[in-house]
Amino acid sequence: MSEPLIKQIPVRSILSKSNLPVCEYSVNPYVGCTHGCRYCYASFMKRFTGHTEPWGTFLDVKLWPVIRRPERYAGKELFIGSVTDPYLPQEEQYGRTRELLTQLRGSGAKLSIATKSALILRDLDLIKSFPDARVSWSINTLDEEFRRDMDHAASIQERLAAMEEFHRAGIRTTCFISPIFPGITDAEAIIRRAKEHCNLIWLENLNLRGSYKTVILDYIRERHPQLVPLYQDIYGRGNRAYWEALDTRLRAFTAELGLDYVTNDDSMNRPFEAPPVVVNYFYHEQIKKSAKKCTQ
Ligand code: SF4
């Protein structure tokens, strides 16, 4: 991959009031995302930022004035990484996410961070100093080749190792199995692999809309031609039978493992040591209503 086009841009504020019901502020230290996931819904952002380059090839580094009176965010939910990854490789050089956490340190804000990176390990101690912090890693395959086809982020092994280390440090972790690719994502294998190292497992199906619908369907035709009829059925005819069958199967599978399988996440109220809760966010309408996370 060629070097991204990087600019530093001044912004008036780094915290944006969110209209999502469960997080009061969303925070994105960068504009754009060099992980460049093929299925990225956040690529719609380009429209609002004046960028014409392909998604994944540009990055604006935000420079904001020091946060005044950080204590006013005590008890507020701050979601970091709704339309970028706060731990992109460029964070190593620019350190804007670390700067954000440093400015908020001691404020009592409740952090929720979404990433596909292991660079977050650098900030483990800092994140641990926040009350009820939670970190989620998106993992939709254990197959590194498919992962490489989909994104330029950290390997799955690195994500899992980072999750394990955070969990061992007593920080709540989420394994976000998203997006589930029909016929490709082995959700059972991921649950088996991650269940000892997370407090939550989110399941989200692949939705195809906007410009990436063609991108993904072309990819399926080229690399997984045997799945074309299934994808036509789901994304052409809108048949939900695949998701309903998967829902039934995962419900039975998680019951065998002794895990709760729910559609509402109340895991913050559970003891840290309890087994992870599996939350099914299938179907876009439900996801929009729940609006709890970045669709990474
Ligand atoms: S899906 Fe998330 S990690 Fe991937 S490019 Fe989009 S914002 Fe970045």
What pLDDT digit, counting tens, does each position of 222-245 carry? Answer: 999 999 999 999 999 999 999 999
Which residues lie below 8 Å from residue 280, measured CB to CB, with a gap of 6+?
A: 203, 247, 250, 261, 262, 263
pLDDT score at 152: 96
Distance 187 CA to ligand 1 centre (A): 20
Q: Which uninterrupted H or E stretch holds 251?
A: helix 241-257
Residues 6-26: what's their mean pLDDT?
89
pLDDT score at 285: 52
pLDDT score at 169: 98
State which ligand 1 atom lies nearest to the alpha carbon of 151.
4
Distance 151 CA to ligand 1 centre (A): 8
Outline where DSSP puts E strands in the chain. Answer: 5-10, 15-17, 25-27, 30-31, 58-63, 77-80, 110-115, 134-138, 172-180, 200-205, 261-262, 277-280
* pLDDT band, residue 290 (cuts 50/70/90): very low
pLDDT score at 22: 67
What is this structure's pTM? 0.93
Please state the domain extents for the chain.
1-103
Give the residue carrying structure tokens 């999502």. 20
Given a cut of 90, is residue 42 above it in pLDDT? no
Distance 186 CA to ligand 1 centre (A): 21
Whether residue 114 has its Cβ less than 6 Å from ligand 1: no
Count of all residues that appear for the chain in the document? 296
Residues 148-157: what's their mean pLDDT?
98
- Rounded mean pLDDT of the chain? 92
pLDDT score at 1: 67
Q: What's the one-letter identity of residue 198?
A: C
What pLDDT digit, counting tens, does each position of 66-95 carry? Answer: 999 999 999 999 999 999 999 999 999 999
Given a cut of 60, is residue 294 above it in pLDDT? no
pLDDT score at 265: 72
Q: What DSSP character marks residue 233?
A: I
Q: Are 253 and 191 in contact (CB under 8 A)?
A: yes
Whether residue 37 has its Cβ less than 6 Å from ligand 1: yes
Ligand 1 pocket test: pick from 85, 116, 141 the residue with the most ligand atoms within 8 Å of its Cβ.
85
pLDDT score at 106: 97
Residues 195-212: what's their mean pLDDT?
93
% of the chain surpassing 90 pLDDT: 82
Question: What angle (nearest 5°) sits at the alpha carbon of residue 277, between those of residues 159 and 158?
Answer: 5
